[in-house]
Amino acid sequence: MTSCFRVLLPCLLGLSWAASAAVKPNILVLVSDDHGYADTGFNGCKDIPTPHLDRLAASGVRCTSGYVTHPFCSPSRAALMTGRCQQRFGHEFNPVYDPLDPKEGLPLTETLLPEHLGNAGYVTGWIGKWHLGASPAHAPGRRGFAETFGFIGGGHQYDRWKPNQRQYTLPLERNGGPVDVTRHLTTAFGDEAAAFVRRHTAHPWFLYLAFNAPHTPHQPTPERLARFAHLENTNRAKYAAQVSLMDDAIGAALDAVRQSGQESRTLVFFFSDNGGPEVNASDNTPLRGHKGQLYEGGVRVPFLVSWPGRLPAASDYAPPVSSLDVFATALACAGVPMPADRTYDSVHVVPYLAGELRGRPHPRLFWRVGGNQRWAVRDSDWKLVRSRDKPDELYDLAADSGERHNLASGQPAVARRLGAALDAWDKELIAPVFRGSSVKNEDWGPGGINQIHRSRRKRG
């Protein structure tokens, strides 16, 4: 292939996408929370049935190397909404829940995906968990979402809470105002999504349905918990019940898409915001590590992309893709040019998943955690993991997805090459712009439900 044709081919594909954008597809982004890599039927789970997610997998592409940009909640979501590695704009921690602090949240200098799509004629909706800043300026209704329903903080009780100003018991909001919710929260999110889909059949829509399940606290309905009473690990049984409730809620949204005749013009993404943590009894098999870590178990997640009639059904895609790619893919499918005002890391993946483009969407993927504490890079099937306090580790993911055999000493040239690439990438980033809260205190359960006072104590 000549160099001219290499340049021309993406342009021709771009023109074909612009031409087909006359009928703009709906875009549905489904995000689970703290969901283990192995905890879906389509990834081989045996003890937690996920029939609706499995049906989604049968209709589209299972990305076996699907990644997120960070091993815990808020930074991962910030990259999803911007198409940029979150360290480029300093969003490297979970923001403290503090409505009085305009700095704790996704910087207002960033333009989010729903703003671009809204300008292109899309109806934009957010349902579920926000966790991108609690000040009025950071609210989803101020960041491009025309219709909103959910909670603003990093987590929430699921059932029978008494609304107050603590993060996990805040009143839910609809379009900026408080609303009473009497159903189980996961079920409520599925019902709201189905209603959104049925309301909007005349115009293209973008719906970000961000569950807090199966994040702790474990509060499934008694009826759903009874289905998993046979599991010996009671914590696993509660987790399984929460995953099952979420699968049904996803099914409600997907049924609404089908029943309203919108399936063939709806592009669907599904993935978790990070790997499963040990605390909620999730399972990341065969991967090493968990939420909070840069081993595969922290950043490699169950990942699906479906678009019936456009993407091959019941297929697998092995090269790495990222949650970053929602941004460029959505804009391309909507006929919106990628902005050129700053560096973007997102790639339009539909041509790759459809087999129209060969090669890898991302030659390399990078991670950084804790503001210059831990890093990682994946280059082809090689992965380098770096910590400030110990030697670099090198793994061949093709032969060792569990990262059990450190090859750094046996492959020094590869380790140096990946280390140099990581150093160069790190120089493009900035320091965190807000101090945030620790993942241990804020993001793993109701032990962190009152960060306002804690954050003020920490700041003196």
Catalytic residues: 73, 131
- Report the alpha-carbon distance of residue 460 to residue 446 in Å, rounded: 24
Report the DSSP beta bridge partners of residue 149. 127, 174
Report the DSSP beta bridge partners of residue 305. 61, 269
For residue 264 the two structure tokens come to 């063939």
60, 73, 125, 113: which is closest to 270 by C-alpha? Answer: 60
In eight-state DSSP terms, residue 128 is: E
Q: CB–CB of 270/59 below 8 Å?
A: no
- Give how far Cα 372 sits from Cα of 92, 145, 308, 366, 386, Å: 10, 33, 42, 13, 10
**Residues 6 or more apart in contact with residue 139 via CB below 8 angstroms:** 130, 133, 148, 152, 176
* Count of helix runs (H) and strand runs (E) in the chain: 13, 16
DSSP code per residue over 139-199: SGGGTT-SEEEEESSS----SS----SSGGGPPEEETTEEE---S-HHHHHHHHHHHHHHH
Q: Provide the pairing of β-strand 315-317 with 321-322.
A: unpaired
For residue 100 the two structure tokens come to 């009085």
- Scored b (16 or more CB within 10 A) or e, 173-202 reads bbeeeeeebeebbbbbbbbbbbebbeebee
- Report the alpha-carbon distance of residue 41 to residue 318 in Å, rounded: 18
Report the DSSP beta bridge partners of residue 61. 305, 315
- Report the alpha-carbon distance of residue 325 to residue 304 in Å, rounded: 12
- Report the alpha-carbon distance of residue 435 to residue 432 in Å, rounded: 7
Q: CB–CB of 219/163 below 8 Å?
A: no
Q: CB–CB of 331/21 below 8 Å?
A: no
Q: CB–CB of 381/396 below 8 Å?
A: yes
Q: Provide the pairing of β-strand 61-63 with 66-67.
A: unpaired
